[in-house]
Structure 1
Amino acid sequence: MRKFRARRALAATAVALAAVLGAGGWAADTQTAVTGPPPGSAAWTADTALGLHPPDPAGSTPGQIAAFFAGLSPAQQDALAARHPLVVGNLDGAPVELRYRANALALATERGHELARAADPALTPQDHEAARTRAERYGTLLDGGRRILAFDPRGRGQVAEVYGDLATARRTAVIVPGSDIDLLRFDRTGNPHGTPAGMARALLDATDRQTAVIAWAGYTTPLGLGPDAATEDLARAGAPRLTRLLDGLAVTTRPQAPPTVFCHSYGSVVCGLARPTPAQASGVVVLGSPGMGIDSAADLDPGVPLWATARNGSDWIGNVPTVRLFGLGHGADPTTPGFGARPLPATGSHGHDGYFAPGTASLAAYAAVALGRA
């Protein structure tokens, strides 16, 4: 019997690997997760020009960060943002408008650095091209008064953007994306509803702009289909970052309720491992999910409702077995009745990235959930 169980486990693992390989090709490289405090944190904590000791980003809670900034004048806040834009722009708990200004400064500075690299004769043509691409991306994020809530140039780059107005919105929502999303692919024009920015715009419009939506590419996502996508390592690194974002929103915004968190694809693993509380989220919605890294909805806080979107017939994620063996796979399928999630329709959606497309039953359902009407 023991040998039979071992053979069955090995066979299931082989099936999972074959499905991932067949779904789009195996990506052999693995990503190193960006974790820890924002870049420049050492200079920030050493800055006592105001006669104060700034809170350590590595150990302070968003509530402590908020209390620190509440004790400063607007001029003092702006002075710190000017000296430490990469820190202030990424501090969950700092005033939202101050973070927008800090990130605009950080983007302008980093754009200048990349333009200098693009003209550096000591670098290769490939380096020049990469620098020009980044400089163009930073310039795009600076255009048109975009509300950039977070910006971190390390690694493949991370960014979070607010659509709508966090100060006046009745409700809020957070989009947590899956694989292949980073600073350069945050809002690809060729895939308008498959990126966090596109999903956020669609939800903002579907709620008649009553919900402010945060497109959050704030963790290191897997690239392609391979070891990172098949394991939970990057999700475990991303879950505390999502938790910190939600804690920061709780002390800096005052909507009628905490945000609804929408988790796409691998992002649903991040959400499952984050296990938000009622103080952090009004609900969690998963779509195109390969599993949540948990066995059932009972593993989440009972005060946070969980919705699972029916999988449309052209979503390739349905070819990935819902197994969790030897560190591979993400567990049970949230769309099955036994999992315990509340079902949402997917009529009219197509493919893995089509659930937020206008006119779909899924987007209409998301708007209802975000507005507290589900």
Structure 2
Amino acid sequence: MRTFRARRAIAATAVALAALLGAGGWAADTQTAVTGPPPGSAAWTADTASGLRPPDPATATPAQVAAFFAGLTPAQQDALAARHPLVVGNLDGAPVRLRYRANTLALTAERDRELARATDPALTPQDHQAARTRAERYRTLLDGGRQILAFDPRGRGQVAEVYGNLAAARRSAVIVPGSDIDLLSFDRAGDPYGSPAGMARALYGATDGQSAVIAWAGYTTPVGLGPDAVTEDLARAGATRLTRLLDGLAVSTRPQAPPTVFCHSYGSVVCGLARPNPAQASGLVVLGSPGMGVDSAADLDPRVPLWATTRNGSDWIGDVPNVRLFGLGHGADPTDPGFGARPLPATGSHGHSGYFTPDTASLAAYAAIALGRG
């Protein structure tokens, strides 16, 4: 019997991989997770002009970062942000308004650098086009007073944006996206409710602005449906970064409660592996989930409520068997009643990324939960 079960599990894994291949095609390339301290950290730690030694971004906790900035005057804080924008803008625990300022400076510098690359005769036409594309992306992030909480140009680029007043809002929420999200796809005009920025805008509007919402593209996501999408390496790296974000919000903002975390697709694996506690999150909501990297809700912190959105009939993720074997797959289906999550409706939604579309039952439920009415 044991041999039979093992063979059945192996067969199920093969079926899962086949389903993934059929759903979107195999992406042969794998991604290297962006980890570690932000660019410029060495110069930051050596800067003692304020009379204090700055916390090492590689080892300091968000609470230690917050304590350091609390010992500085506003002028000293602004001076550090001007000298080290990429560090200050990505330091979880730093004052939110200072991170906005630092990231404006960092985006401006990176835009100017890419514009220079776009006319560099030593580069190829392909390099010129890539530089123009990035420069335009940076320009759009600088337009209209956008509140950029994090910006890292390394790799495919990472970014986080805040909708609403994070310092004054009584409630807050974080959107954790799935595959194919990076600096360039963070806010796709052709998919208004399928990108993290679009999801955040929709949720912010559905709460009538009563909940601040963070669109967080702060980890290296899989590209396509390939090796990275069916394994957890990128999710583990993302879980570490998500944990730091949540710890940073706990010491740099003063909401009525910790944020509700909404986890889409592969992002639900990130959330499952992060296992937030009540000081970090008021609740977890998964949608379009392939699994959370755990066997059941009992493997998560029981003090943090978990909701799972019923899949709509056109969400292809429902065709992927929920298995976890030999490092492949993401485990049990959170929408299965036996998993232990609270169910949420999805009436009116369509496709894998349509759950935040206005006038859907899912978005109405998300707004209620984000406002603490779950």
Normalised by the size of structure 1, how large is the TM-score? 0.99
Please name the residue that 2:240 is paired with: 240
Please name the residue that 1:323 is paired with: 323
Counterpart CA distance in 1 for 2:138 and 2:300 is 38
The reply to whether residue 310 of structure 1 matches residue 304 of structure 2 is no
Matching of residues 85-96 of structure 1 within 5 Å: 85-96=85-96
Please name the residue that 1:29 is paired with: 29
User: C-alpha displacement at 1:168, in angstroms?
Assistant: 1.4
Please name the residue that 1:134 is paired with: 134
Please name the residue that 1:261 is paired with: 261
Matching of residues 277-296 of structure 1 within 5 Å: 277-296=277-296
Matching of residues 182-221 of structure 1 within 5 Å: 182-221=182-221
Please name the residue that 2:365 is paired with: 365
Name the amino acid aligned to 1:37.
P
Please name the residue that 1:68 is paired with: 68
User: C-alpha displacement at 1:273, in angstroms?
Assistant: 0.2
Please name the residue that 2:223 is paired with: 223
Please name the residue that 1:338 is paired with: 338
Please name the residue that 1:273 is paired with: 273
For residue 35 of structure 1, give the secondary structure of its aligned residue in structure 2. coil
User: C-alpha displacement at 1:296, in angstroms?
Assistant: 0.4
Deviation digits for residues 68-125 of structure 1, max 9, x if unmatched? 0000000000000000000000000000000000000000000111011111111111
The reply to whether residue 162 of structure 1 matches residue 162 of structure 2 is yes
Please name the residue that 2:171 is paired with: 171
Counterpart CA distance in 1 for 2:260 and 2:361 is 18
User: C-alpha displacement at 1:280, in angstroms?
Assistant: 0.3
Counterpart CA distance in 1 for 2:308 and 2:348 is 16
Q: Give the gaps of 5 or more residues in structure 2.
A: none
In 1, are the aligned partners of 2:9 and 2:323 still within 8 Å (CA)? no
User: C-alpha displacement at 1:3, in angstroms?
Assistant: 4.2
Deviation digits for residues 207-232 of structure 1, max 9, x if unmatched? 01000000000000000001000000
Deviation digits for residues 267-311 of structure 1, max 9, x if unmatched? 000000000000000000000000000000001111100000000
Counterpart CA distance in 1 for 2:6 and 2:362 is 40
User: C-alpha displacement at 1:2, in angstroms?
Assistant: 5.1
Deviation digits for residues 37-90 of structure 1, max 9, x if unmatched? 111101100111222210000100000000000000000000000000000000
Aligned length: 374
The reply to whether residue 153 of structure 1 matches residue 153 of structure 2 is yes
Share of identical aligned residues, percent?
87
Please name the residue that 1:42 is paired with: 42
Counterpart CA distance in 2 for 1:3 and 1:370 is 46
For residue 294 of structure 1, give the secondary structure of its aligned residue in structure 2. coil
Name the amino acid aligned to 1:353.
S
For residue 160 of structure 2, give the secondary structure of its aligned residue in structure 1. strand
Name the amino acid aligned to 1:221.
T
Please name the residue that 2:122 is paired with: 122
Counterpart CA distance in 1 for 2:367 and 2:92 is 26
User: C-alpha displacement at 1:7, in angstroms?
Assistant: 2.6
User: C-alpha displacement at 1:5, in angstroms?
Assistant: 3.7
Name the amino acid aligned to 1:62.
P
In 1, are the aligned partners of 2:356 and 2:362 still within 8 Å (CA)? yes
Name the amino acid aligned to 1:158.
Q
Counterpart CA distance in 1 for 2:224 and 2:25 is 8
Name the amino acid aligned to 1:69.
F
Supply the RMSD in Å over aligned alpha carbons.
0.7
Name the amino acid aligned to 1:65.
V
The reply to whether residue 16 of structure 1 matches residue 6 of structure 2 is no
For residue 301 of structure 1, give the secondary structure of its aligned residue in structure 2. coil
Show structure 1 runs of 4+ deviating over 4 A: none
Q: Give the gaps of 5 or more residues in structure 1.
A: none
For residue 261 of structure 1, give the secondary structure of its aligned residue in structure 2. strand
User: C-alpha displacement at 1:170, in angstroms?
Assistant: 1.3
Deviation digits for residues 221-249 of structure 1, max 9, x if unmatched? 00000100000010000001000000000
